[in-house]
A and B are shown apart, each in its own frame.
Chain A
Amino acid sequence: MVTSVSSSALLLSNISKNFSGVAALTDVSFEVNPGEVHALLGENGAGKSTLMNVASGTLKADGGLIEIMGTQIANITPALATELGLAIVHQHPAVLPDLTIAENIMISVPESLLMSEGSTEKTMRKILDEFGFTASLRDRVETLTVAQQHLLDLAKAFAINPKILILDEPTAPLGQESVEILFKKVHAIAQAGTAVIYITHRLAEVREIANRVTILRDGKGRGTSNVSEISDDEIMTKIVGRQLESTFPPKHDGSINDGEFVKIENLSSNDFHEVSFAASKGEIIGISGVVGNGQSQLMRSLVGLDSHAGKIIVNGKEIGNKELLLKTAYLPADRHGEGLMMTLSVRENASVSALGKFSQGLFISRKREDNVVLASLRELEVKAPSMDSPVSALSGGNQQKIVMSRSLLSEPIMIIADEPTQGVDVGARAEIYKILRNVANSGIPVIVNSSDTKELEGLCDRVLVMSRGHIVQSLEGDQVTEERMVAAAIQSTALKRQEIDDAVAASQKRTISKVLQSDFVPPIVLTGMILALALFIFSKNHLYFGSYNINAVLGLGTGLGFIALGQTIVLMTGGIDLSVGPASGVLLVVASFFVNDGKSFWIIAIGFLLIPIVATVIGTANSALIRYAKFTPVAGTLTVYIALIGIGFLLRPAPGGYLNASVTDFLLRKVGPLPDAFIVLAIAAVLLEIALRKTKWGIRLRASGSNEESARRLGVNINRTVFGAYIASALFAGVGAIIFMGLIGVGDPAQGTSYTLQSITAVVLGGTSLLGGRGSFVGSLLGSVLMVQVLNACVFLNLSQTWQYLFQGLLIVIAALSYTLTRKTRR
């Protein structure tokens, strides 16, 4: 590190960054001083977010220098940036949906800062209150609206008093009230000496809060000025630039101009309101506006993916929702997530909608399919090694052409394209424009949403500008210019409806469902079920509460309980450990070679020492297969499962090795009807439960299962967390093995295998989600007890095995269903 003389908080010099050959940033320099608010302006894709991701260490620059607080930094990482006092609020909030608001704050705000108001709770409340945040600290983040999640992310960033604060389009999802609060906070923090970088689209906001402004276009810096010394027009010119576009096909000739072919009347949904427009045959309609103002949702409604009120009329016929889904074609903005089956081939992706047309009798005629698809691909000039190469191997532009080919082959009545050229190189763009124009000329209406105003200007005959869900401007013919679009979007004063107030009102209504979704409900319900079942059996058979029986039930439940605790840890990270059953079997077998009658103390001690050692090896093997060899958790732990059975039988082909009697006696000791081991289990479950909720370890564990990407951004080491979880799970299987020593008394390799599925069942009964991120150790303990109790009940009630199985099955299904359904009421 080299200390320089510059006084700037953040200094970026000559930064360049390429994404697979496409330049996102070229030679950009940027400087912010302490105490100033510096706006970073530019169109979508100009490179603003990329530049800030380079500064915060999320992306690595290809060239250039980064200096933070006067120190030059060669290899910046997110953790190092945070340490140096840099905080960034991304466009997509980095929050963990399964965790509570308090826990989300805890994971990013250092403990020392949380005591400033006396108690953590008070400090957190203050952090939120300052942003007019009414939700309770105990609410799960997933119950918040998008706007509230943004506010939370903002509040966290302000709370750590950063030296450099980067805000990436913070106002896009916010209502007016919150925007005002935010501006006040920005002013205040800048006055206190923080350097604020404010990325935005809106000119009005720049005038309101920024001291200086830097403009980016096409990945290049276009100058920095004092806000007071530059006019709106100058800024506009710098944002838009002058560029001759010869890549666009000629526009609609206007031969048909009845404005009747497509009619959209009063289309409304939660995200857009009263949208109406009409166009003639052959016209391409553009939707413009700052990203996130309802355009994408409008597109989805137009193809029937989202519901809507209002009418869509094409060629004189009104089209209902279901028909839209079948008859229109959609080019989604999220091409990988929603446009393509990435693992399938070019041919399969292109033909999937039109397959019916290739059938001869029952079967698809490959000949016909090949011919038609090949003709279509050639017409669209797709570049691909062959029709059978996976679509994931193509470039962005060619992938988009495959989606277009599929759309055209399905012979749609309308084509809706959302960001059709995003991630597409310049050459392919021109070809895509040509294809869209040809489609429009053939009489199929085309509606294009784009954040690239240049593109809309060159391509469209009619453009509607949206802001906050409303159409604020309708342009046609010569009016379709970039300047008019940008002006309409950034000068719009339309307000987003106060989502937050609505949400507060709604959240009060949801209190009951909120209570139902708490992690504590399953344990309470389970306790009730255990007691009710016990009383029922007691009424039939008075021996049930005998200390012999209680001891037997809890004794059996203890081994399962320990294994279930380990399974819970793994499930919390979103994984699954199938190897726990055989792992406990193998560990029992290992111990059976050492812990025998007549062996010396030291030999027995070695046996007990080997259990954690072998368990650590098992856990490491599981996590290495999953994290490094990229096996799915099921495949990885299944492989280990089979291997462990093999090892177990290799060590002891038949049960043998009677265990030391004084050890087994010790393990079977009890206090009254309660086995000592069960008491240990109960204490362990409670301690883990507390650790899960109160310690950084617990929060990290749940964070990595809740949303791996956000957790990573927040500085959680995912690899370490996952390795730790699988090792812990194997260690608990080891404790289970020790319990089996007492119960079984002999090294038996076949013992244990059944505990894999039983442990999963117990954990599911306890309310832990297989999706990761939430669960309860006490619940898993109670789930184990309930399972053993149900089996025992059938013996006491003289019911056959039939009922044991039926009860088990119904219990799992009903428990899982009720947990899933109560979770679903969230929004």
Chain B
Amino acid sequence: MSRIKQRFADLRANKRTGLVTYVTAGDPDVARSAEILRRLDRAGADVLEVGVPFSDPLADGPVIQRATERALAAGTTLEKVLAMIAGVRADISAPVVIFSYANPILRMGLDRFVTEAKAAGVDGVLTLDMPPEEGEAFRGAFAGAGIDTIFLLSPTTSVERIRRASTLGSGFLYGISRLGVTGVRESLDDSAKDLAGRVRAETAMPLALGFGLSRPEHVRAVGQWADAAVVGSALVKVIAEHGQSAGLLDEVERYVQWLRS
């Protein structure tokens, strides 16, 4: 059983809402990114999503765009992200999911990426601009290496495509709980609950819901409809605010513990 499947099975067995965290790799720099992953794991994150910075993040809002710019300015590349994951893998228990746009992976070459990701201990890959219709080569290569392919679902995704994503994908499904780019929102949209209901009617595959969550009550609310809540932009904001301070890691840990409260 993959590390991701095991983690979601444990969450269900313990009737616990999982917390999936997203950070942009290399923000504020690669070395501190590695430390952030260790702290997230220690603070109780259940799945660590690691974003690969890309020059044209068209699915991302301003918070992650800025993080991407900081990471690129710090010289972060896909190769360095994989090396960083390899360096922390032994210290963390949570599964690691690479979150990337297609082009950096294509440029590295799919075969080389799969080999290096496998060696680094990457558990899953979500390619933002690679819907199931385009993603067959990626999916096949990942499956061959025992890496889960995570697909996105949105409020506009049809039932037929929910089925396709649950058949072709593995590990878990990532539901976008509202329309738009990534970013922090104060309250949860009804569309989150609706989407979860439509997914639940089609598949028993674990579901993580995200896009816009920032508070412990959001995490608890999502727990009523899904296996896990994803917190991305809000965490990236914490990193942005404390990136230059010595207290960065403590702030990250405190924020994740608060989300868990």
- Do chains A and B interact in one complex? no
Q: Residues of B at under 8 Å CB distance from A?
A: none
